[in-house]
A and B are shown apart, each in its own frame.
Chain A
Amino acid sequence: MSDTLKALVQACRAGEADYQDLIDRVPYARFLGIQVLAQGEELTFILPRNENNLGNPTLPALHGGAVAGFMEQAAIIFILLQMGEPRVPKTIDFTIDYLRAGLYQDTFAECRVTRLGRRIANVHISAWQKNREEPITIARAHFLLSDENA
């Protein structure tokens, strides 16, 4: 199974496969409706406005859990593309700060790998709606890349 993942990651890197295929193989990513926009080597993740992701009905605002799941999945895809031997990273911890309400609009996210070690990756994720200088949430997460000898 992981051979097919490796082949897909390599095809994405080579520009022979769509990054969206990497996302669409994850059932929960399809559940949220996550999309990806690649501009050169830059990836922006998109959580399109979708009523199934609503939390507070009166505002209305997105469910904090949906935004968090979107950001976590964005980070997983982002790391996967940087791994020499691509294997689905396991989330160790995920910490999110909610800065503004996530309105019933499209949400965007970008990732920055702070450190990619052999076993652990530290990733920063930022999500916004109006513009990226006004994030609605920022998150920090650690992922286990290899559980050999763990």
Chain B
Amino acid sequence: MGALAAVTDSAVPYTRMDVCKRSLETVRHSRMLGLEVLSAEEEGVRLRLPWREDLVGNPDTGVLHGGAVFALMDHAGGMANSCRLYPAVEITPTIDLRIDHLHAPTPGKAVICDATCYRLSAHVTFVRMTAWEEGDEQGEPVATGQATYTRMKLDRSGRVAS
């Protein structure tokens, strides 16, 4: 990996962070949720979902809706795929995703999500996600996720190849 990978990487005119930021720019719903990419490395990505009043699921408690956290995880997983595939560019639609809500995130606190593609097979990627309250990234997760995505290779014009 070492030296050769470094040389190859530096020849690519875009970084993993560029790929993730571009993904966020084009995906309108993720922009509407206020998602933000905090880091993008070969090992995975870290994203942030703000707490916002319009994303609340239980008006009596102010807790974020599970759907907002789900969308955060789904997009984080897609970006984890991109980071693993880098510098190749593919689109990776979700096959399935399971989210476990371990405990409710505190109202008013943003949610941070890490996603890692831990296995890249010929046609499928396998991804794990973990989410915490912002400021408690070393503590107990609020949610975990597990997903598979299918790989769709793009040709030079950016169209799905097969």
Contacts and interface: CB of A to CB of B under 8 A. Distances in A.
Interface string A96-113: 111001000000000000
B59 A90 contact: no
Given A32-B67, A73-B65, A63 B27 contact: yes
Contact of A68 (B30, B33, B93, B97): B97
A1 B62 CA distance: 12
A144 B74 CA distance: 23
Interface stretch (B2-10, B99-107, B128-136): B99-107
B17 interface: no
Given A63-B30, A91-B66, A56 B91 contact: yes
Contacts, number: 129
A114 interface: no
A40 to B, nearest CB: 28
A72 B70 contact: yes
Interface string A70-93: 101100100000000000101111
B97 A2 contact: no
Interface of A: 1-2, 5, 25-32, 51-57, 62-66, 68-70, 72-73, 76, 88, 90-98, 101
